[in-house]
A = this chain, B = another copy of it.
């Protein structure tokens, strides 16, 4: 069993995390890296012992040895490298959100369909074992038909400050919960209404509150506050409440399953998404989803956890919410596409 050769396009902090997770997967080899900044490229290349380093992804994609690429560029620069990688006959693992416009999502969905390689967007929350368990219970009919959903995914001011120059909370984090709500309900979103507030004057507003109406009648609300108090003691402050006609499900991450108090305050080391399980190696849901995609490639079985169409639907709903926030009006999702 030869190791699968994996490349990463876009080596920001999360591209590096892909490497940290791949480093713990014995059947994968971090084979090639691509990013624009040469010093960064060399630094991360040294860290992972990678020889094949590129500043141009087209050169990297020309290597016939390369099996899989992670696309971890900025969210609004996903489309070109994804299309190029699919065209070059690589399996593609693309970070969320799929893309920044409806047209780009459509182009990616079509390219993925046309390819005989595998494609998947990294909807990491689907690999959180608690969300997964919830879905299983819903599918088993335990809570009946879903009628109300509430999701919270809040991060503190200091994290918001790092991210808000690049992306806003609805498309940046709400896309997770939008996807989960679509997954759990099996319904379509008809309308979106959102309010945003720019508290700290970054490029994007740091608060987003979205209300969805599903075609099943269900109501879903997403809270995405990227200016939670820094001293809250943990982040994300992540919750999900799903009320059905026969029952309900309540999820809560990350506290109170773990709290550390030290001389400065309290915090919760991430036990779920990308915990560093050995120096330089990350486990958790990030490793799970990459390992899942890796096994799909090894075994020749297409990924089924999430389809390209589903990834696109989550983006379209979030874009509808952003439009609502900008216009003050209720937006029909059908008019977005």
Chain B residues within 8 Å of A266, by CB: 231-233, 265-266
Task: Enumerate chain B residues within 8 angstroms of A130, measured Cβ to Cβ.
Answer: 257-258, 271
CB contact between A245 and one of B129, B199, B264, B299 (< 8 Å): that residue: B199
**Cβ of A225 < 8 Å from any Cβ of B?**
yes
Given A271-B129, A271-B133, check contact A225 B148 (CB 8 Å). Answer: yes
Asked if A16 CB lies within 8 Å of chain B CBs, one says no
Partner among B27, B256, B330 whose Cβ is within 8 Å of the Cβ of A27: B27
Contact between A295 and B193, CB atoms less than 8 A apart: no
Known: A193-B211, A217-B197, A219-B207. A249 touches B277 (CB 8 A): no
Within 8 A of B (CB), among A235-266: 243-253, 256-266
Q: Are B247 and A260 in contact (CB under 8 A)?
A: yes
A270 to B129: give the CA distance in the assembly, Å: 9
* Residue A221, interface by CB 8 Å: yes
Check B232–A277 contact: CB distance below 8 A: no
Query: Min CB distance, A112 to chain B, in Å?
Result: 24
Interface residues of A in 262-287 (CB under 8 A from B): 262-266, 269-272, 275, 277, 283-284
Instruction: Report whether A246 and B275 are in contact in the complex, using a CB–CB cutoff of 8 Å.
Output: no
Q: Provided the pairs A148-B197, A221-B221, A232-B266 are in contact, do residues A132 and B258 lie with their beta carbons within 8 angstroms?
A: no
Find the B residue at minimum CB distance from A1. B1
Q: Answer whether residue A186 sits at the interface, using C-beta atoms and an 8 A cutoff.
A: no
- Bound-complex Cα distance A193 to B330 (A): 9
Contacts of A272 in B (CB 8 A): 129
- Name the B residues within 8 Å of A258 (CB-CB): 130, 133-134, 249-252
* B247 x A257 contact (CB < 8 A): no
Q: Which residues of B contact A213 (CB under 8 A)?
A: 195
Say whether A229 faces chain B, with CB atoms less than 8 Å apart.
yes
Q: Which of B134, B233, B246, B257 contacts A229 (CB 8 A)?
A: B246
Residues of A within 8 A of B (CB): 1-2, 26-27, 129-130, 132-134, 136-137, 142-143, 147-148, 150, 152, 154, 191, 193, 195, 197, 199, 207, 209, 211, 213, 217-219, 221, 223, 225, 227-229, 231-233, 243-253, 256-266, 269-272, 275, 277, 283-284, 295, 298-299, 328-330
15 contacts between A and B (CB under 8 A): A26-B299, A130-B258, A130-B271, A133-B269, A134-B258, A142-B260, A142-B262, A147-B199, A147-B227, A148-B209, A193-B211, A197-B219, A228-B248, A229-B246, A252-B258
